[in-house]
């Protein structure tokens, strides 16, 4: 996983609620055994017309948002399916940060695991950032994870909250499996205890 420290980039406005993970990446593109290559299908139904050509009305088909690294949206981003293909598709396109008033829980978790920062900011702030992002290439937004601030194009700094453990993993690009495996003894101990307290709980025979 790539580190996330400070990101300065173009933000694409997507002023919609409930952008579900089927919208982010439709089910028919989940038939892959890889994590990469999904960017071309990101937001497929909104991004392409029926004949397969680009929909010129869709924000990511417009300059400068083709190179967007940040998305600003409204409530409940990432609701629906648990598919991690959603953050994989965002990442493959080049998105490293999504800013919204709130996120669906599974998408929120999945994003951190892939070096994408899902950032909760109040609706009123998101509305301001949407207005900023409409200025396109003249409106680069900075997300400084170390200092926990978003810097608007006018220089105004907006502080944000982030879970300290997740911040640590993102800043250092750490794999959390490696972190948990350091607690291997505790897991061994737990398993021994459970075997004694609940001997009736069956295992699954191969």
| Residue ranges binding another protein (CB under 8 A) | 15-18, 20, 22-23, 26-28, 30-35, 45, 50, 74-76, 79-84, 87, 102-106, 109-110, 113-114, 163-165, 175-177, 179-181, 183-184, 186-187, 190-191, 194, 198-206
105/157 with CB nearer another protein: 105
State whether residue 63 is helix, strand or coil. coil
User: In 90-179, where do the E strands start and end?
Assistant: 97-100, 117-120, 140-144, 149-151, 157-159
Q: Of how many residues is the chain composed? A: 206
Q: How far is the CB of 27 from another protein (least distance, A)?
A: 4
CB of 136 to another protein, least distance (A): 20
* 124/205 with CB nearer another protein: 205
Task: Compare residues 138 and 197 and give the one whose CB is closer to another protein.
Answer: 197
Give 95's contacts (C-beta < 8 A, 6+ positions apart).
42, 68, 69, 70, 71, 116
Closer residue to another protein (CB): 59 or 140: 59
SS3 202: coil
Among 56, 36, 38, which residue's Cα sits nearest to residue 46? 56
CB of 8 to another protein, least distance (A): 26
Query: What's the min distance (Å) between Cβ of 51 and another protein?
Result: 12
The encoded tokens of residue 1 equal: 């996983």
């Amino acid at each position: 996983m790539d580190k996330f420290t400070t990101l300065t980039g173009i933000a694409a406005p997507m002023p919609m609620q409930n952008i579900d993970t089927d919208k982010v990446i439709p089910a028919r593109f989940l038939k892959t055994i890889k994590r990469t290559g999904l960017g071309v299908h990101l937001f497929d139904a909104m991004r392409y017309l029926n004949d397969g050509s680009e929909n010129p009305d869709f924000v990511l088909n417009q300059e400068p948002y083709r190179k967007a690294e940040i998305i600003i949206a409204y409530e409940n981003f990432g609701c629906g399916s648990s598919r991690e293909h959603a953050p994989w598709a965002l990442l493959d396109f080049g998105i490293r940060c999504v800013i919204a008033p709130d996120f669906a829980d599974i998408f929120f978790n999945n994003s951190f695991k892939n070096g994408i920062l899902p950032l909760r900011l109040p609706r009123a702030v998101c509305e301001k950032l949407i207005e900023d992002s409409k200025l396109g290439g003249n409106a680069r937004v900075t997300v400084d994870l170390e200092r926990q601030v978003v810097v608007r194009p006018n220089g105004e700094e907006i502080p944000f909250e982030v879970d300290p453990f997740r911040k640590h993993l993102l800043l250092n690009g750490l794999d959390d499996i490696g972190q948990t495996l350091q607690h291997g003894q505790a897991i061994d101990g737990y398993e021994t205890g459970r075997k004694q307290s609940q001997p009736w709980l069956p295992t699954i025979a191969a």
